[in-house]
């Protein structure tokens, strides 16, 4: 049984991720592990000879543990409330841990040591930032992660996952990603809408053959009957994804993070304000060389 890792800094925007992960865990018949990073003072990181006072570490460790235990109790109470008056169903095991280090270091260490295949985290943290993608810790995680990460908006209210849109440029490596995505979609009997955005000039017989070949390989690899294709014609990718979001009634948007692609620009903050619409629903980010099955 695989466990979903949920990083938290105990801020209000981050509190929505554990609640969303709880629904995922129930559907995927897995557990949840909350984790928190204990930050070492900058001078201690830069100068090994500078000792970090033991009492400071003990105080921070105790505080972090108390907050994690409180978060776990809240999730267990939520499970209890959900189960009241209903037939018994799967109840995810909920654990927690904390480590010293940066957010990215701690998450990568826990994922590697525990062989986890999915991280669920909030789009905003305690820094008062209005959008996840402006946060340096979050941006660094996406840049360095070799595992899928689901980003949850702070005010998003969970609803059953019925349709997941996957934006593709028809790269061969995306076939493996769709295979991984299908393994998750099966738990919820959800549709996967494979979406390719182009302008009208790129519509030609050779392009159509490329699409047919891509979809044929997807069908063979994923072996999941609820995969559909939609070709979105638009002047640019931004507008095309905006149209997809507004007209396809999707519950999650999945993408691969590659240098210089749409997601890379979104993370760097170089896109216009209208793209904020794309992150009002969960965003599932795959690393470029993803091969793990969720």
Domain definitions of the chain by residue range: 3-152, 163-286
For 163-286, which CATH superfamily applies? HUPs (3.40.50.620)
Overall CATH class of domain 3-152: alpha beta
Question: For the chain, how many residues are written?
Answer: 294
Q: Is the pLDDT of residue 19 over 70?
A: yes
Mean pLDDT of 215-229: 92
| Mean of the per-residue pLDDT values of the chain | 80
Mean pLDDT of 264-276: 48
Mean pLDDT of 108-123: 89
Residue 100: both structure tokens together:
């010293």
Q: Is the pLDDT of residue 200 over 90?
A: no
Q: Is the pLDDT of residue 261 over 50?
A: yes
**Single pTM value for the model:** 0.86
287 pLDDT tier (thresholds 50, 70, 90): confident
Least confident of 59-63, 117-121, 202-206: 202-206
pLDDT digits (tens, 9 = 90+) for 60-73: 888 899 999 999 99
Helix 16-28, helix 54-83: angle, nearest 10? 50
Same fold, 3-152 and 163-286: yes
What pLDDT, on a 0 to 100 scale, did the predictor assign at position 270?
41
* SS3 of the chain: helix, strand, coil, percent, to 5: 45, 20, 35
Measured distance CA(7)–CA(214) in Å, rounded: 35
Mean pLDDT of 230-238: 78
How far, in Å, are 38, 72, 110 from residue 60 at the CA level? 7, 18, 19
Measured distance CA(231)–CA(94) in Å, rounded: 41
Q: List the one residue out of 68, 65, 56 whose CA is nearest residue 7.
A: 68
Measured distance CA(107)–CA(102) in Å, rounded: 9
H or E element at residue 238: helix 237-247
How far, in Å, are 132, 229, 235, 243, 267 from residue 278 at the CA level? 12, 19, 17, 10, 12
Least confident of 45-49, 198-202, 260-264: 45-49
How far, in Å, are 40, 68, 120, 217 from residue 152 at the CA level? 27, 19, 7, 31
Strand partners, 95: 33
């Amino acid at each position: 049984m695989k466990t979903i890792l949920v990083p938290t800094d105990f801020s209000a925007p981050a509190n929505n991720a554990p609640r969303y992960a709880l629904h995922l865990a129930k559907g995927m018949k897995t557990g949840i592990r909350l984790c928190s990073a204990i930050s070492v003072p900058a001078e201690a990181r830069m100068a090994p000879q500078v000792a970090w006072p033991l009492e400071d570490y003990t105080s921070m460790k105790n505080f972090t543990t108390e907050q994690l235990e409180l978060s776990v109790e809240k999730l267990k109470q939520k499970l209890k409330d959900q189960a009241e008056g209903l037939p018994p169903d799967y109840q995810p095991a909920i654990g927690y841990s904390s480590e010293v280090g940066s957010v990215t270091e701690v998450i990568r260490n826990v994922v590697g040591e525990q062989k986890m295949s999915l991280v669920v985290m909030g789009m905003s943290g305690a820094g008062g930032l209005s959008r996840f993608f402006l946060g340096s810790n979050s941006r660094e995680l996406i840049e360095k992660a070799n595992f899928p990460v689901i980003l949850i908006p702070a005010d998003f209210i969970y609803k059953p996952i019925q349709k997941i849109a996957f934006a593709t440029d028809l790269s061969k490596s995306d076939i493996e990603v769709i295979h991984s995505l299908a393994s998750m979609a099966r738990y919820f009997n959800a549709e996967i809408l494979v979406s390719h955005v182009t302008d009208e000039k790129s519509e030609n017989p050779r392009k159509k053959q490329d699409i047919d070949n891509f979809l044929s390989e997807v069908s063979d690899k994923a072996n999941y009957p609820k995969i559909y294709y939609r070709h979105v014609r638009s002047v640019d990718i931004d507008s095309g994804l905006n149209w997809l979001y507004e007209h396809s009634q999707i519950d999650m948007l999945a993408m691969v993070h590659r240098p210089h692609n749409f997601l890379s620009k979104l993370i760097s903050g170089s896109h216009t304000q209208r793209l904020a619409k794309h992150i009002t629903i969960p965003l599932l980010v795959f690393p470029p060389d993803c091969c793990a099955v969720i």
